[in-house]
Structure 1
Amino acid sequence: METMANKLSLKLLIDHKAHKILFAEASKDVVDFLFGLLLLPIGSIVNLLTKERMVGCIGTIYKSLEQLDVTYLCSSQSRTTLLSPPISETTFLLPSALPCTTKKLYGHCGGYFTEISGTKCPACRMAMTTELQQVNPGSVVRQREVGEGYVKGVVTYTVMDDLTVVPMSTISSITLLNKFHVKGLGSLEEKVVKLGLEEGLELLKASLQSKNVLSDVFLGKKVSQGNVTV
């Protein structure tokens, strides 16, 4: 969580008169984080937010499968796959901050592998019980150096309250102020908010139920002083 908070931040433009965040300035890392949410399987979203915090009935489906007796399942592995689907390391570009679940794979002679330990190898007929080690494709820092992720880092991005993302420019900022009918600058305040794990999960939750995500997350509740810089 500390690592995430040190790396990601949003510069918010707040209209205190309207009690609303007009828009935010965001770096490549923040936009990669937001776009990476599209890769999350539903089961992983429920797992991250917990059943109790989910809106609608997906949490109920999750709980039903969680509580279903194993005698009714084709395999226990299928329940694990549905309740905790693998999350790609690059989904958030923050593997140290958010959980990343991966399947265990087993082999014996190198030609075949299985998810179920003890399965006989078709080649040598021996039980495949040796857990295979997955290779880390590279650190987040290295990925950014070679230009991976989802968007380019040569520009700053504007993130709207409803999480619309567009490249930022001086003209677009002025246009936005006119769009929101801002007459004076006295009610406006800039505030830099650092994103930690808690804020990331709140953004995910709010994005599923609101059109005013930034305002709901950063104005709807008090953000700790440790995560906000004025």
Structure 2
Amino acid sequence: MSSPEEEVRLSMRVMINKEKTKVLFAIVDNNLADILLSFLTLPLGLIIRLLKKHYGDDEVPIVGSLNTLYDGLANLDSSHFRTEVNKLMLLNPESSLDADCSKLQLNIYYDTQPIKYFSFENMDCTSVIMYHDTERCPCGKSMNKNLKVFTVKTSSFLISDELRMLPNVTGSYLQTINDLGITDTDGALQMTFTIGFNQIMELLKWSLLSQSPLTDLILGKSQIHKSSSIAKFELFILPPADMNEGANSSSTKFKVKATLHKSTRKLLFVQAEEDLVDFLFSLLTIPIGKVESLLDSNTCLGSIDNLYSSLASLNADKYLKTPDAKGWLLDPKLPPNYISKNQYMIFPISEQIYDFKSGSCKGKPLAFVYPNNEGSYVKGPGMFMVNDDLTVTPLCMLSTISILNELKIPLWFTHIESITSTYALTNGLNPVLEKLLKRKR
């Protein structure tokens, strides 16, 4: 796994229009196709961490409310979490496909520790824990052994400017171009574009924020230059009526006290207990591919919708290393230790069973020990303030007054309502608040 200083460089052939203002399509080999598809495996929180690491706090691209949700998590004292590991898990969320992605030719995970599965010092014990060596086995021993897993591979593809992806099939070039929606190739120019770590990070950014990520990457024609002007992505969860099979009926309701602006009916912030905060933080662990699956490939995530839809139409038996790889990417599972009892949706858990062969433990199946075995990340009881941009802070009178002063809203110009809702904040909660205000008039 290379660092930016020792990076592998890959190349792709690119066709641009004669005015040199737009990329028509690119031809990529299996290595670049793998990297592009790996974006679907990235948890939302990991995306924000990688962007912050690469661009810095002052220039980090704004992906809606994900940035403020992540920053609120980072700034929240560890005493609010069940263990230090729980907070670290949310700040550095893992994917069930991390082991595969770690073997990409050019890996954006370069600054993360390689995925490890720790077993215990006691070789007669069959417990194992994922990713973290700070836990202790029920038998009292610590962990110091790690295991490894393997990768997948794809073929050659044509990629449109909007990240529509089709196999590069010999003899059907014109049909493929037509299928990509490209109608004018008159005077088109061919070039070779070299890709390193920085270009992959740029491609990740533009794939989330733009409808023309290849043009933005290769020709630099984007109108988006500063983080403050980047298109917003509103994070929300579908209501129960639209999630017939996904609702966790045992823990779907959150009680909050919402503070509203009286005249505009804008939600300013809510007072919430630890269950809602736990739910919001758990959103950071969801991979993009799962977001696409939940929202039927109809998100505001730039060109990711096109990439996801293209993969859904791909012949997995012919173009992916294994047919299972398609399902892994289209509907990625959460690692076993990333399930919270406060998650609104029920997610499938990856089944990872290993035989550890060493000493007296030859051939024994290993059972996982989970850092969040209490069923949640955030410790209760506790009260928090959640802003409309999903910034989470401990609730206190000073913080309440501070945010009102920051918004230049006098206390008497607010209205408080107690609400029980299955929805997230912002888009999901505002319709409920409007109905309550109408009843008050």
What is the TM-score when the length of structure 1 is the normalising length? Answer: 0.75
Matched, 1:73 2:81: yes
Structure index of larger Rg: 2
Instruction: State the Cα distance separating 1:86 from its structure 2 match.
Output: 2.5
Which of 25, 28, 33 is residue 27 of structure 2 equivalent to?
A: 25
Instruction: Give runs of aligned pairs for residues 32-71 of structure 1, distance below 5 A.
Output: 32-50=34-52, 52-71=60-79
Distance 1:92 1:217, change over 3 A: farther
Which of 104, 115, 118 is residue 105 of structure 1 equivalent to?
A: 118
Distance 1:204 1:178, change over 3 A: closer
Tell me the secondary structure at the aligned position of residue 24 of structure 2.
strand
Kept after mapping to 2: 8 A contact 1:106/1:128? no
1:171 maps to a residue whose letter is L
Distance 1:26 1:65, change over 3 A: same
Which of 78, 94, 109 is residue 86 of structure 1 equivalent to?
A: 94
Aligned counterpart, 1:131:
144
Aligned counterpart, 1:202:
202
Distance 1:181 1:198, change over 3 A: same
Instruction: State the Cα distance separating 1:11 from its structure 2 match.
Output: 0.7
Tell me the secondary structure at the aligned position of residue 209 of structure 2.
coil
Question: Among the aligned pairs, what percent are the same residue?
Answer: 25
Kept after mapping to 2: 8 A contact 1:105/1:132? yes
Aligned pair count? 199
Kept after mapping to 1: 8 A contact 2:119/2:128? yes
Tell me the secondary structure at the aligned position of residue 113 of structure 1.
strand
Kept after mapping to 2: 8 A contact 1:54/1:205? no
Tell me the secondary structure at the aligned position of residue 4 of structure 1.
coil
Kept after mapping to 2: 8 A contact 1:43/1:62? yes
Which one scores higher on RCO, CA 8 angstroms, separation ≥ 6? 1
Rounded to whole Å, the distance in 1 between the matches of 2:105 and 2:63 is 26
Rounded to whole Å, the distance in 2 between the matches of 1:159 and 1:96 is 18
Rounded to whole Å, the distance in 1 between the matches of 2:75 and 2:177 is 54
What do residues 82-136 of structure 1 show as CA deviations (whole Å, max 9, x unaligned)? 11123513226427643244357351213123446463x43xx4x322412233x
Rounded to whole Å, the distance in 1 between the matches of 2:35 and 2:215 is 18
Rounded to whole Å, the distance in 1 between the matches of 2:78 and 2:180 is 57
Rounded to whole Å, the distance in 2 between the matches of 1:28 and 1:158 is 11
Tell me the secondary structure at the aligned position of residue 11 of structure 1.
strand
Aligned counterpart, 1:228:
none
Rounded to whole Å, the distance in 1 between the matches of 2:218 and 2:204 is 13
1:90 maps to a residue whose letter is D
Aligned counterpart, 1:227:
none
Matched, 1:175 2:185: no
Rounded to whole Å, the distance in 2 between the matches of 1:175 and 1:113 is 51
Rounded to whole Å, the distance in 2 between the matches of 1:116 and 1:94 is 25
Rounded to whole Å, the distance in 2 between the matches of 1:92 and 1:103 is 11
Gaps of 5+ in 2: 222-441
Instruction: State the Cα distance separating 1:31 from its structure 2 match.
Output: 1.3
Distance 1:177 1:53, change over 3 A: closer
Gaps of 5+ in 1: 222-230
Aligned counterpart, 2:268:
none
Instruction: State the Cα distance separating 1:44 from its structure 2 match.
Output: 1.3
Q: Moved runs in structure 1, 4+ residues, more than 6 A?
A: none
